[in-house]
Amino acid sequence: MDKGILLYCFDTELTSYQKIANRCVKQIEKYLKMPITIITDQNTFEAWPNRPTCDYNIIEIDRANTKLGKPWYNVERFKAFEHSPYKVTAVLDVDYFCYSDKILKLMESNEDFLVHDRAHDVTYRQSMKYDRESMINLVWATVLIFKRTQKVKNIFDTVGHVKKNYQHYCNLYRISYKNYRNDYAFAIALNQVNGFTHTEFIKDSIATVPTDVKILNVDDEGILIRNGESTVLLNGQDLHVLNKEVANV
């Protein structure tokens, strides 16, 4: 297949990512109209009552990682080159909701690998820069767009190597966040593969809904949020929703 979307979906004891994935798929179908492959594990697949019509690849996963002290099963992304059946692939977090055809346009780029190097809080309260926590600026692995080239394979192979030796690379790059993080792993891989030269990034910044923002409503046109006394409808732009309560809205 020429182009398609790859999603990783693994339930934890605290979050039903399958519910979030269902919303994500609905948005992809509306705005991108592309085939979707979902990488999941057996437990999530069997517990998924209303699975969308997609292709599924059931794998064994690493359950050792945590994020902010909570279970976080999202360390399989380094295998996306292997998992994808497409010539051009967009890997999206399942909590990244499309409200535009932006991803479709990015997949038409001449670049063989694209990732964001910037994200911003839609409420403009929080800084989303982490340059003081490492010698290397992280990238945002929320969205990865790649073609099946040798260079891209080298990038993913290097991410796999970084994952196996993550503490070493944390020490090498003075990364203060010691739990495995895709954002740093891909940043390190790009730094290594590109030989410390320029990497082409996605031009815009990821619009991010922070964890403490209340999600009032989600539909296929946008997301209604409340921040303090302010109620805001976000539409017309893709959104990365960090508040996992979106699964229950």
The number of domains in the chain is: 1
**Cα–Cα distance for residue pair 180/72, rounded to 1 Å:** 10
Note the pLDDT of residue 178.
Answer: 79
> How far is the first Cα of the chain from the last one, in angstroms, to the nearest whole number?
34
Give the integer Cα–Cα distance in Å for 137 and 143: 16
Nearest alpha-carbon partner for 115 in 92, 83, 99: 92
> Is 126 inside a domain boundary?
yes
Amino acid sitting at position 105: K
DSSP state of 227: E
Q: Could you tell me if residue 227 is inside a domain?
A: no
As a whole number of angstroms, the distance between CA 75 and CA 65 comes to 8
Q: Does 75 map to a domain? A: yes
Looking only at the bridges linking them, the beta strands covering 113-116 and 140-147 are antiparallel
The 119-121 sheet, strands edge to edge: 96-97, 239-241, 206-209, 119-121
Domain presence at residue 160: yes
Q: CA-CA distances (angstroms) from residue 219 to 23, 74, 223?
A: 9, 26, 7
Provide the 8-state DSSP code for 245.
G
Residue 121 falls inside a structural domain: yes
Q: Does 70 fall in a domain?
A: yes
Domain coverage including residue 72: 3-210
Q: For the domain that residue 161 is a member of, what is the CATH number?
A: 3.90.550
**pLDDT in the model for residue 210:** 92
| Residue 61: strand, helix, or coil | coil
**Predicted pLDDT at 63:** 75
Scored b (16 or more CB within 10 A) or e, 65-82 reads: beeeeeebbbbbbbbbbe
DSSP H or E run through 103? helix 102-106
| Strands, sheet with 214-219, edge to edge from the N-terminal-most edge strand | 214-219, 222-227, 230-235
196 found inside a domain: yes
Q: What is the 3-state secondary structure (H, E, C) of 117-165?
A: CCEEECCCCCCCCCHHHCCCCCCEEEEEEEECCHHHHHHHHHHHHHHHC
Rounded Cα distance, 164 and 224, in Å = 40
Residue 248: inside a domain: no
pLDDT of residue 198: 65
Record the pTM.
0.93
Give 10-residue mean pLDDT values along the chain (249 residues). 95 92 97 97 95 96 71 86 98 97 96 94 78 78 97 96 94 87 94 76 94 94 92 95 89
